[in-house]
Structure 1
């Protein structure tokens, strides 16, 4: 049986892979999208997994015609407050300082995936294969031969690896990674507080790691509490009342008394950067390319920048009649995204080391003073605000304006 020639094959239909697929089909480019797991199903209840989306990421989803999400699935925040252990004034960032309606949105991950998948399943240009994966990958000269789990074969001009942090394809391709284990995990759940969250992303740095209250629908907050690995099991074993008491103390009762209103889960934190993000007819995007600490909320946004940058590279190659998987096209993506990912990951890692080191050394007062000074350094504060909103550096076209129309 002869392999079927596909222009682009994307392995992984998480947010990054699905977003790239949808951007391409909206522009008239056919793709084959593979996802080995079951797709998430819509639910009225808010899922425990939420993500922070920057204004530039929102522009991307507007361009893909999947924004806004259903009511209650995305909550804007206009302010961000960061304090040290002393819980004094700290530093406050505001959307009005950069003439934006919001600094970002806290979004239910499942709802975002469902919106992307629905659009792809309705597209005649997307060969969306659920329950399928690449079983065998062979590289010969400048050619890729793929055998899928069902025995069918493909010979793509470009293979996009979007399988997430533990990508089997990345390993098959021989692409190594570097980084470190933070020896910590994030405990997540949803909270009600005595005073409803008014739209503030609150983060407090203390011994052992940061604690974040992120605004969600109904004045509730989504918790991300970073704890050393050895403490996580004991905290998860506490009753909701006992956990809420510990959390109230750790947050210095920023919003008053706390009540846990969802199950609790934990997720380990690691830094992992692929040694390269492009090779012969292959590119990596999203967590397959880089996994960073979530303290700055940049993880998914970094992956979406990969999506928008690769879209620009692919569309430019098509306009010029060039080979999509050729060295010239992919070298451009490699140079663009590897440097951005390394810089962002290094910055976040330095923040983690600095805040944790200050707190663990008994210097929270010095840390707090530094945060207070930042309030008065307006140019630096503005730059940090713009960076958090994805407004610095070279921005891909889909993150500047909505350039696609629904097909």
Structure 2
């Protein structure tokens, strides 16, 4: 058994947890030590069918941390977005709303990166940083706090202490439950399906969002003539589609994909997952702070889940680094409340918008479709509003943390 003091403990080694660990190790004053507790074994090699849409703000954060140079060659800029709203069997899917020039003013508003590439770059950077001590595979579920620190016991017997514990352990966070923090949330009657396809025609950086009666069907460009599919389907229908053989699955996929990019074939594994809405009633407790999915879970229709988590990283890193430089207690209520004020309303607002859009479009009502299409058409003719929407999705509006502006701390 070991008893080791650190400056911060992070429970959860996903994208958000590892990015926060790296940000603190690189940007906090010299001597700052991070304990990262990860339930997964190092370099587990699990196949991942997913890709992520990184906003321009997230790209700036990764640039400050020295990661973007490793990712740039594999990142596909999203140069245009097209949105349609039609029945599944529609022979024609008319263009209703598009973002073209608005996406490329200055720089693209978003980039697609395969999760395996992002995971590899983060793992290497975290493993190589001497200020980060990794405990993996390991779990942290028992912790107690006093006036000065949190003391946590790991399943393997090690004891870790630090002024602050960060819960980055996902939507079923055991640390959040242990702290007694309740959530507002529900499960959708939908299933998310992800895979990668190859197609015969180039996508030219164009993303397509088909709003179909069962839910949104997104075609997101990857490097080469490939696209990532993020497909929302009713639970029963989605489960039946996942059980089909490759030919049957591809037939269902082709019905929704259309002929825009020519012939398609599967170019990666397929995965499915339940869809939930969840926002924690508080993002902080006694010397505990929530980040990422432990704090909020949003519908994937706009691909903003990871970006919202990266906003948590940027805000919490700035709060911790500034307090450390002033010699303040980073786990004190005043510091945690600053983070909560910065992130809770923004997170809840984003989650609510995603939920509302899903409810608005995931139905087959002809009168409602007519109203939706009228609204989308009006937005398409409002360039100022379209530019605002792109800036919002790129993370360039509101009280933006310095890391998301591309500034070091």
What TM-score comes out, normalization by structure 2 length?
A: 0.92
The correspondence of residues 185-196 of structure 1 with structure 2, limited to 5 A, is 185-196=191-202
Q: How many pairs are equivalent?
A: 401
The answer as to whether partners of 2:8 and 2:162 remain within 8 angstroms in 1 is: yes
How far apart are the structure 2 equivalents of 1:96 and 1:338?
A: 29
Q: Which residue number corresponds to residue 390 of structure 2? A: 385
Which residue of 87, 109, 113 corresponds with 1:107?
113
Give the Å deviation of 1:4.
3.1
Residue 30 of structure 1 is aligned with which of 21, 29, 33? 33
**CA shift in 2, pair 1:95/1:302, >3 Å:** farther
Match of 1:230 in 2: 236
Distance 1:239 1:394, change over 3 A: same
In the alignment, the residues of structure 2 paired with residue 4 and residue 97 of structure 1 have an alpha-carbon distance, to the nearest angstrom, of: 48
Determine the structure 2 residue equivalent to 1:208: 214
Kindly indicate whether residue 331 of structure 2 is the aligned counterpart of residue 333 of structure 1. Answer: no
Question: Does structure 2 conserve the Cα–Cα contact (< 8 Å) formed by 1:16 and 1:304?
Answer: yes
Partner of 2:405 in structure 1?
400
SS at match of 1:155: strand
- Return the alpha-carbon distance in structure 1 between the equivalents of residues 103 and 122 of structure 2: 32
Partner of 1:50: 51
Instruction: Spell out, residue by residue over 1:119-168, the C-alpha distance to the aligned partner (whole angstroms, 9 max, x if none).
Output: 12111111122212214212345642211122121221010111111111
2:77 maps to 76
In the aligned structure 2, how far is the partner of 1:286 from the partner of 1:330? 15
Matched, 1:94 2:100: yes
Aligned partner of 1:261 in structure 2 is 267
Q: CA deviation at 1:109?
A: 1.3
CA distance 1:364–1:2, change in 2 (3 Å):
closer
Distance in 2 (CA, whole Å) between partners of 1:97 and 1:79 is 6
360 and 100 in structure 1: CA distance in 2 versus 1, 3 angstrom threshold: farther
Preserved contact between residue 41 and residue 114 of structure 1 (Cα < 8 Å): no
Bigger CA drift: 127-136 or 290-299?
127-136
Among 286, 292, 295, the residue aligned to 1:286:
292
For 1:10, the equivalent position in structure 2 comes to 10
Distance 1:113 1:126 in 2: 17
Deviations, residues 60-81 of structure 1 (Å, cap 9, x unaligned): 1011101133576321111111
The match for 2:139 is 133
Provide closer, same or farther for how the CA distance between residues 369 and 88 of structure 1 changes in structure 2, counting only shifts above 3 A. Answer: farther
TM-score (norm 1): 0.93
CA positional deviation for 1:240: 2.9
Provide the rounded CA distance (Å) in 1 between the counterparts of 2:148 and 2:190: 42
Provide the C-alpha distance between the structure 2 equivalents of 1:252 and 1:352, rounded to a whole number of angstroms.
21
Structure 2 residue 163 is matched with structure 1 residue 162: no
Gaps of 5+ in 1: none
- CA–CA distance in 2 between the matches of 1:142 and 1:275? 25
